Structure formats: C-alpha cells, structure tokens
Structure 1
C-alpha cells in the first residue's frame, strides 16, 4: 500500500520545499540534514505496511491472528499431525513405533497400521504417493 513511499521519493518531496537558492545536491548541507529523517520516514512506512497486514484476519499471523479470532469468540486450534495410509510388503510385520523417512519428513507407524507425521501442520499432507519410504529402524 505504501510501496511508493521510498527514501528517494520522500527525499525528493522534502527537497522540493527547500528554497531554490539553497544548494540541494547530494552531500550538500541541506541534503545531509534531511537524509536521516527521510530514511526514518521510509522505514516507518515499511512498518506501517506490516501493521496493516497484521490488522486483518485474512493476512494476520501468530498472536495477531489469535487476537482477531478472539474478537469473534473463536480460539485457534493447534496444528495436528497428518495421518497417512501406507502399503507394506505382505508378510512383513512392522513393529508399532517404527520410524520412516521421506522428503525431509519423519513418520511413525501406529497401532492401527497408519503412519503419523512427526511434524504438525500441512507438511505431512504433501503428495508422496508411489514413493518409497526409508526405514530408520531395522525391520526383519
């Protein structure tokens, strides 16, 4: 929203307000006096843009999203771990708790024959179909 509020743009507007009979070239006294203020203003516009992103529920993150949800009487639930079905070779007994690895994700074999991702969130929902799992444990 404030992308046009750059250091150069702010500096140009500030220098336009200085009388024409004063030296306004870079490194002149007036330029050097105005530059720190222009830099701080440009940084403030960047922060202001970030604040606007955190104010609205569709772009808020973390604590700010929790606070927006609380305004509507909602409480954000923590991320859950993905649970996936896996096919194993017939006759191979997989011990409960056996760990597997694929694409920087670790999975644990559960009682009901599924794999539970050790990482909570959407990472465990990646398309891994047809790709072999690497066992981290010795399975006879």
Structure 2
C-alpha cells in the first residue's frame, strides 16, 4: 500500500481522539487537550511531509534536484552544464585587439575574444555567460567595452552558435531511466544514443549501425529549441563527434551527421474559419512532427488527424494533403512546414 500523507486536520483529530480515549471522556474546549493535540499534530505533519519527500527521492522517476543528480551519478550520468555560444567577430581599423577583449551586444550580453585579431581583422569570440541566450544570427553589432586605439568601437559578429542552457530535471531523468533500462554493452545502439544525449544541447539522437558498411556507425541528432527546426550546426556536430570518439570502441568508424530537414506542408479544409483555432491546429501539428519525426522515418496520416481532432473548437475538417502517410529517405527528417487553408 502506498504512503499517503494525512492532512493537518486529520492528524489533529487522531491525536485528540487518542488523548480522549485514554482520559475516558471527551475533552472540553477550555482544557489543555485540544491545545496539545494541535501542537503535536503540527510536529507530526512536518515529519509526515519529510517522509513523503524522502520517498519521492528514493525512485529515479520522482527524484528531483540534487537527489536526482546523486542517483544519476551512481550510473556515471551527470547533469549537462550550460555551454557558451562561440563564433567570430570582424573589426575595423588598424589597431591590435588581444584575446580577452570584452564586447557588448545591444541586449547587454558580454562576449570575450578568445584569440588575437588576425590579418583579416577577425577574432574568435565566446559568450562570457553560458546559455542559449548567447546564440545569435550573423550580423549582430557588438561594441567594445573599453576603447582600443586604432579600432572602431563597433564590430560585426558572425553567427554565434553552441550556447545551451543547463539540463533540467526531466531531461536528466529521461537519460537516467534510459541508462537503467539499457545497461552499457561496450558499443550497442543504445550506447551511441546515450553518448550523444550526454552533450549539452542535444535533445534527440539515433544510431544506425553499418549504414555505410561493415564497421561503420552513423549517429544523427537534433538540437530542438537551440537551432532552426532543431537541425544541428557544425559546432554541435563537432562537439558530439569529439565526445562520442572519447567513449566509443576504437574499432568502429564513426560518422556524426545532422539530419537533412524536409518540411511537412499540410493543407486543411476547416470549420470554423477562425484565426485562433487555426493557430492551435498549427501548434498541434508542429508538436506531432517534432515528437514523431526521425531520420528516414514517416509521419502517419493518423497522427495528423489526432492532432487536429484534439483541438476542442474544431467542428469539422478535412486534410487535403498529404493524402496518406508520408516518408523520408535515408538521413532526411520531417520538420514543421507550412499549414495552408482552403
């Protein structure tokens, strides 16, 4: 029988009833029994709370925070720490910019040069504070925090990528449960998936043994929420490659690739013709595509039906296209496309 924490009122009633049974009579309101019953019940309620909390920390499926980290560490799994965005910046002028120079963006993010300026006036940079907030598209203007003789105060950054937030409890728990269900076996499919998921920013991963021949292992992964449509960039591919190479058997030939995005366009005849309802349907379809897509795998027509019919405001609908299940070729993965209405 599972443990159920009694409410404070239940404990007060229990303690007072126990006291009255020993007194052999009902306690009057002006006696000490009701007062002491509330005091004792308050202490007991706190202890019951501690018991309930402790029970949650015993199991991987309910542990949280530092307790979840401790359980995961017993299997050699650790919370993925935040990673800093990296890229390059181009300066103007004839001065020298040393490594360690600080630059600031319009939203007050600080970046540091990690190399001296080269002959092309370019230097490598990284975000001073780890996290996804440091990522940015190419063309962002950065301003020198301290002036440098001969260098214009404004510089232009290239694409800044690779920034990732620290792993949350649910992601860590999912990796821990996967490890418990799939113990390491010196290089199985599950091992390669687990190694890829251990890299900060990686949200989904797949392994394809011998796809390119005997002894070859292909790993594909996604970085949902960090890059456009979750398709990994070169920085992330390099990070995952380096990590897996440090863990994998030396006899294998590793190929880490970003899946090729294939937009899934959907055309729907909908009733009612309402903007808010359409927005909910688009969000539902996007969720289905993100949860069910995998490299070389299909998106089922029934999944699209389930997504649309799950929107309560829909009175009637008809999917014009696709007319059936849709598939992908090797390496391709479906990403959310355009939803059209007729």
Please indicate, yes or no, whether the TM-score normalized by the shorter chain is above 0.5.
yes
Alpha-carbon distance between aligned partners in 1 of 2:49 and 2:147, rounded to the nearest angstrom = 53
1:35-72 per-residue CA deviation (whole Å, 9 max, x = no partner) reads 2221111101221232233323353332x345423443
Does the Cα contact within 8 Å between 1:100 and 1:134 map onto a contact in 2? yes
Question: C-alpha displacement at 1:97, in angstroms?
Answer: 0.7
Does the Cα contact within 8 Å between 1:23 and 1:30 map onto a contact in 2? yes
Does residue 98 of structure 2 align to residue 95 of structure 1? yes
Question: C-alpha displacement at 1:117, in angstroms?
Answer: 3.0
Scaled by the length of structure 2, what TM-score is found?
0.31
Alpha-carbon distance between aligned partners in 1 of 2:81 and 2:16, rounded to the nearest angstrom = 52
Q: 2:81 corresponds to which residue?
A: 79
Q: 1:15 corresponds to which residue?
A: 16
Alpha-carbon distance between aligned partners in 1 of 2:101 and 2:109, rounded to the nearest angstrom = 14
Does the Cα contact within 8 Å between 1:97 and 1:108 map onto a contact in 2? yes
Alpha-carbon distance between aligned partners in 2 of 1:132 and 1:48, rounded to the nearest angstrom = 54
Q: Matches of residues 14-93 of structure 1 in structure 2 within 5 Å?
A: 14-17=15-18, 18-19=20-21, 21-23=25-27, 25=29, 28-58=31-61, 59-62=63-66, 64-72=67-75, 74-76=76-78, 79=81, 81-85=83-87, 88=89, 91=92
Q: Which of 107, 129, 132 matches 1:125?
A: 132
Scaled by the length of structure 1, what TM-score is found?
0.62
Superposition CA RMSD, Å: 3.8
Does residue 126 of structure 2 align to residue 115 of structure 1? yes
Question: C-alpha displacement at 1:100, in angstroms?
Answer: 4.0
Does residue 139 of structure 2 align to residue 138 of structure 1? no
Change (3 A) 1:104 1:30: farther
Question: C-alpha displacement at 1:107, in angstroms?
Answer: 3.5
Question: C-alpha displacement at 1:80, in angstroms?
Answer: 5.2
Does the Cα contact within 8 Å between 2:5 and 2:48 map onto a contact in 1? no
Change (3 A) 1:31 1:129: same
Alpha-carbon distance between aligned partners in 2 of 1:42 and 1:55, rounded to the nearest angstrom = 20
Alpha-carbon distance between aligned partners in 1 of 2:103 and 2:6, rounded to the nearest angstrom = 51
Change (3 A) 1:98 1:30: same
Does the Cα contact within 8 Å between 1:108 and 1:118 map onto a contact in 2? no
Change (3 A) 1:71 1:129: closer
